[in-house]
Structure 1
Amino acid sequence: MALRHTLLKAAANKNMSTYGSVLDRFLISNTSSASSSASASASRTSTASLFEPTKSTTTGCWHPPKYSLRRQAKLVREAALTGQLELLPDGPKTSRLTQRLARFQKTNAFEHTSNEYEYVPKLKASSEIGLSRPKVLGERVIKPTQRMTKHDREQAFRAAMEFARGVGPYSGRAKIFKGSRVDKHKQVRVQDVKAKLESMETTKKEWKLVSITNLFEVHEFGQVC
């Protein structure tokens, strides 16, 4: 028991020191940078060197951020647990956790919406159960799909489709065409041929006009010679 208590205490205080936690030390040493990045967007150039690489205007070389990705992950994790995530400057770990939290909130909203249309059967008395059963052979019984209205089913299906549209590794990407290059550009070729066939009469008139003009030029050149 004493060993377990010691291990739990060490795990809870592994990021603590006499000067406070890792997040406390970061906020103390970068108070002005963190507060300015959260309030004004004009000072983002000065705080970009904390979590993001910066490019030198004189040499053109990229400089690594002041805090490594491992330290950024530790800071972001502790800030999320203490509710101080908005105090940290922008960075890869901060943006990733923000996206995950937004996706988590969206999932919770979808679950709340789906629970509204979830059918929960109510316990009935034995006398009511006997009334719901068919008394005559061939009598229709209420199906489980008929316990919910058509409007509610359509709304639940629409909410599920809207949720599935923004979930997955390919969300937000353009749909990739699966097939050969000939099949990929087939529709473009068909439209091109259709446009040429529609303008065929105009093309024929232009060719005839050019042929007649060339014929007259050749005839006049022969007479001059």
Structure 2
Amino acid sequence: MFEQWRRRRAAARVKDGDGRELKRFRWWHLLGRSLFYLRLPGDDGREMEYAVDVVHWGEQEDGEVRAHLYLDGGHRAQSKMPAAFPVPGGRIEVAMSAFGIRRCHYVANSGAEQQLTPDPRSPEGRRARLHREHPILSRCIGLVSVVLLVAGVGLNLLQALGPISEIPPVNEVTGTFTSPVLLPFWLNITLVAAAALASTERALRLRHSWLLDGAGT
């Protein structure tokens, strides 16, 4: 029932497009735009190309972050996040985190999922190319990202438990907790920055964990 309600809400957010032409991805879009593609057969058997375009920092008019759906280069629809665009045989789901695209998948009516292909010039496309051409280096970078997030979340949590335990209702149950780790301010800031970079790297691969990446938000 919750899933049906979520789909109805997503469908209500979808608005018609204005037919404008899809802009090519340029190098100056690297810090704030994502572009993905999907090819699907149409009812007449002709292959159609869908594109999902997202400007991370929001629209100039109102600051809202929207996903835009293009069909064969023409603007077909738009939606606030999270978005779910109906397409032949299923829907395209798009969602964002604080660090980038969290999800851009085609979900077939059967339940099968397929991640859309990023534009090769986009940050996600460049990260995908690195993985194809240098898989060992790519895996090492991914592992470092996880280690940085685990370390950052774990150490910050340990330090946060002390002040939390001093709250009277909590203190009555747990007593006072003294963290075995007390880091200097500059190191805590460094950990936060490293965790943000790690979450950004994971977003380029459309990886997201509510515990790790969400804690860095």
* TM-score calculated relative to the size of structure 1: 0.24
Which structure has the higher relative contact order (CA within 8 Å, separation 6+)?
2
TM-score (norm 2): 0.24
Higher helix share: 1
| Rg (Cα) greater in structure | 1
